[in-house]
């Protein structure tokens, strides 16, 4: 835990103390530091609202000003259990019992600031005076231990920073993030919607469908250029396959299950099993490898908790640009290099140029829980490290974070607000070839196991659309914009000409709408800007006479009149080049 996390962890205790002091009968659960802040979960006798925040903050600041020391003891389990049971703190009692059951502890950590005692492993700052500027942010419901069958608690999210200046800057970023929230922009631009009748499954509206199709078309074209073979596999697969892969035991709770004719099926949460069955349909030669089976439109479902659903970022139904590559061990490193190059080029095409990379490897102190030999793991981890370095990437080593079947390289993009989003993931799999008896005939005439590479470059289309929407604040590059041109006739007599121009532009492949409303042209311009249309073409008497359009950009720049064919050529060039800016416009 770094210094900032330690301070925020300490602030969580201070907040818990303030809430318990302010609301008699409040019970505390857990309160960890998280990215950019901290939270604490409470069982409360009444509803908590933002109107309570100023008083909670006042009480927190009073503790900070008192510079109360954080005192630490190790109490025998019996003493700690008796203390919290006497206070009615059943969540702390349950945590103690779990520590005894799962870890065999004989004592537990206790921290105190002022009169508030909490069960905690620490660490904390020396005293409350070392906590900087604090701010409560919001409340949310949270199930105890993340179990939807348990009671729902009230979670208070907050943040803490060393100085008020840093806190103010963070709050400004939060406000900008609120303005860019893809759920808000998605509604404003009519991209997608959600309905209670199908929670966690987006309804793609016409504009959003266009945006998504443009992404899918680009992804598909780039895969074809690189020799990928597209496949499509069923949505439901027999239980026996999921048992064979290990998912039934390890992942069943996150799967949707269905039955037919007394057979049990799993609705697929990932595409890999279908790819294995296709590979096994015939015996492959080493000359056929690497075999790249891309399932770019495979519909996936995961049984996410309703409380975890979050717009397009966490859904129950999604599609990702998924591929399973079957490669010889000797060809593994070259193929990994090609995949990473492909991933970076894809992300750059959408306007991302700053990356953070994580390399998930085995826990060197607990290698027994990972499948495969030491030689396989060391070779694969070294290969991923070299591939990353060859592309100018310096991955953070994540010990123990690898999947049980092999290491992985994850590429995160940095958006316009400096936030990181995981997109490209490249996973090496030693397990599937064994479990599914996958083979190829090598140059020696003998049968050998291939290595499987699981990879997605942009991840799920749903999540990627959310990331793009917030990165561009809805002002997508022209080639992605659902509506690229809005024709704005000044009066009804100009409508026929506007429709004629629209037809010409559509024939050039541009996406065009005509605003035929009886509104003033300035209102039409304003509305087109609000919906982030890149080009607004005003047409009146002068434009009709000259077979021209008056070009305005969504940035507010007025480019003046241009011949229709000149505008069409330049707009088409901007689209075809997939320019990320309007710099190529007339």
What domains can you pick out in the chain, each with its CATH number? Answer: 3-180 (3.30.980.10), 212-233+268-471 (3.30.930.10), 485-576 (3.40.50.800)
Question: How confident is the model at residue 376, as a pLDDT?
Answer: 80
Asked if residue 373 has pLDDT above 80, the reply is no
pLDDT of residue 78: 94
pLDDT confidence bin for 491, thresholds 50/70/90? very high
SS3 552: strand
Q: Which residue has the tokens 């070392």?
A: 130
Read off the DSSP letter of residue 557: -
Res 505 pLDDT > 80: yes
- How far is 191 from 366, CA to CA, in rounded Å? 47
Mean of the pLDDT values across residues 257-263? 91
Residue 164 has pLDDT above 70, yes or no: yes
pLDDT for the residue numbered 585: 53
> Which residues, 6+ apart, have CB-to-CB distance to 170 below 8 Å?
36, 159, 161
List, for residues 413-425, the tens digit of each pLDDT value: 999 988 999 999 9
The confidence score (pLDDT) of residue 246 equals 81
Burial 22-45 (b: 16+ CB within 10 A, else e): ebeebbbbbbebeebbbbbbbbbe
Minimum mean pLDDT range among 81-90, 97-106, 356-365 = 356-365
Q: What is the per-residue pLDDT for 448?
A: 94
Is the per-residue pLDDT at 52 higher than 60? yes
Average pLDDT, the chain: 92
Per-residue pLDDT at 583? 57
Label residue 446 by pLDDT band (50, 70, 90).
Answer: very high
Instruction: Give the residue among 474, 490, 576 at the shortest CA–CA distance from 534.
Output: 474
Residue 245 has pLDDT above 90, yes or no: no
> What is the band of 342 on the pLDDT scale with cuts at 50, 70, 90?
very high
pLDDT digit string, tens, across residues 119-153: 998 899 999 999 999 999 999 888 898 877 889 99
Q: Which two tokens stand for residue 539?
A: 């047409």
- The more confidently predicted of residues 56 and 432 is 56
The pLDDT assigned to 198 comes to: 92
Residue 584, pLDDT > 70, answer no
Q: In this structure, what token pair is assigned to residue 14? A: 């201070």
The vertex-383 CA angle with 380 and 384, nearest 5°, equals: 90
For the stretch 79-93, pLDDT in tens is 999 999 999 999 999
- The values of phi and psi at residue 102, to 5°, are -90, -30
pLDDT, residue 247, reads: 83
List, edge to edge, every strand of the sheet that includes 71-76.
71-76, 107-113, 116-119
Which residue carries 């703190």 as its tokens?
89
Give 164-213 as a DSSP string.
HHHHHHHHHHHHHHHHH-HHHHHHHTT-EE--TTSTT-PEEPHHHHHHHH
Tokens, residue 218 = 């680009």
Residues 167-225 pLDDT 10s: 999 999 999 999 999 999 999 999 999 998 999 999 999 999 999 999 999 999 999 99
Cβ(423)–Cβ(459) under 8 Å? yes
Ranges assigned E (strand) in 239-311: 256-260, 263-267, 284-285, 291-295, 299-301
Contacts of 206 (CB under 8 A, 6+ apart): 190, 482
- Which pLDDT score is estimated for 189? 95
Q: DSSP assignment, residue 403?
A: B
Cα 164 off chain centre by? 30
Per-residue pLDDT, 434: 87
- pLDDT at residue 61 greater than cutoff 90: yes
Do the Cβ atoms of 127 and 69 come closer than 8 Å?
Answer: yes
Interatomic CA distance for residues 498 and 326, integer angstroms? 54
Share of the chain above pLDDT 90, in %: 78
pLDDT at residue 364, rounded to an integer: 75
Q: Predicted confidence band at 75 (pLDDT cuts at 50, 70, 90)?
A: very high
Least confident residue range of 6-20, 301-315, 496-510, 518-532: 301-315
Mean pLDDT of 415-444: 91
Q: What is the pTM of this model?
A: 0.85
């Amino acid at each position: 835990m770094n210094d900032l996390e330690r301070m925020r962890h300490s602030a969580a205790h201070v907040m818990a103390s303030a809430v318990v002091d302010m609301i008699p009968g409040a019970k505390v659960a857990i309160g960890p530091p998280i990215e950019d802040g901290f939270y604490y979960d409470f069982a409360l006798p009444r509803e908590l609202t933002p109107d309570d925040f100023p008083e909670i903050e006042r009480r927190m600041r009073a503790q900070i000003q008192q510079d109360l020391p954080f005192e630490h003891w190790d109490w025998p389990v019996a003493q700690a259990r008796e203390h919290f049971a006497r206070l009615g703190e059943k969540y702390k009692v349950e945590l103690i019992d779990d520590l005894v059951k799962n870890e065999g502890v004989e004592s537990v950590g206790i921290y105190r600031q002022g009169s508030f005692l909490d069960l905690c492993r620490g660490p904390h700052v020396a005293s409350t005076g070392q906590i900087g500027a604090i701010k409560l942010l919001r409340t949310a419901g949270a199930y105890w231990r993340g179990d939807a069958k348990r009671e729902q608690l009230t979670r208070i999210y907050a943040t803490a920073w060393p100085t008020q200046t840093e806190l103010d800057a963070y709050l400004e970023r939060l406000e900008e993030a609120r303005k860019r929230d893809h759920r808000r922009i998605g509604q404003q631009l009519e991209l997608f919607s959600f309905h209670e009748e199908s929670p966690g499954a987006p309804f793609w509206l016409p504009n959003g469908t266009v945006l998504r199709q443009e992404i899918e078309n680009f992804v598909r074209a780039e895969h074809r250029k690189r020799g990928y073979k597209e496949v499509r596999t069923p949505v439901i697969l027999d239980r026996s396959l999921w048992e064979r892969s290990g998912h039934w035991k390890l992942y069943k709770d996150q799967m949707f299950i269905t039955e037919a004719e007394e057979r049990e099926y799993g609705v697929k949460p990932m595409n890999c099993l279908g790819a294995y069955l296709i590979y096994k349909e015939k015996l492959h030669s080493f000359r056929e490898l690497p075999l790249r089976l891309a399932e770019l439109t495979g519909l996936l479902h995961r049984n996410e908790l309703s409380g975890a659903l979050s717009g397009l970022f966490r859904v129950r139904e999604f599609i990702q640009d998924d591929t399973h590559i079957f490669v010889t061990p000797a060809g593994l490193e070259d193929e990994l290099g090609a995949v990473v190059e492909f991933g970076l080029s894809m992300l750059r095409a959408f306007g991302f140029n700053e990356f953070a990379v994580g390399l998930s490897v085995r826990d060197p102190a607990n290698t027994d829980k990972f499948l495969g030999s030491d030689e396989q793991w060391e070779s694969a981890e070294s290969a991923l490290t070299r591939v990353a370095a060859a592309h100018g990437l310096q991955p953070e080593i994540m010990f123990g974070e690898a999947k049980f079947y092999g290491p992985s390289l994850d590429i995160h993009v940095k958006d316009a607000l400096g936030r990181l989003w995981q997109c490209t993931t490249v996973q090496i799999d030693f397990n599937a070839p064994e479990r599914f008896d996958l083979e190829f005939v090598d140059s020696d005439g003998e049968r050998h196991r291939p290595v499987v590479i699981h990879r997605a470059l942009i991840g799920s289309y749903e999540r990627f659309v959310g990331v793009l929407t917030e990165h561009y604040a809805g002002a997508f590059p022209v080639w992605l914009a659902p509506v690229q041109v809005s024709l704005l006739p000044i009066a009804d007599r100009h409508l026929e000409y506007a429709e004629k121009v629209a037809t010409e532009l559509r024939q050039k492949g541009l996406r065009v709408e005509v605003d035929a409303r009886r509104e003033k042209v300035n209102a039409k311009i304003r509305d087109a800007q609000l919906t982030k249309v890149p080009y607004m073409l005003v047409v009146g008497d002068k434009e009709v006479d000259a077979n021209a359009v008056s070009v305005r950009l969504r940035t507010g720049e007025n480019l003046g009149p241009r011949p229709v064919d000149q505008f069409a050529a330049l707009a088409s060039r901007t689209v075809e080049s997939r320019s990320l800016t309007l710099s190529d416009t007339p």
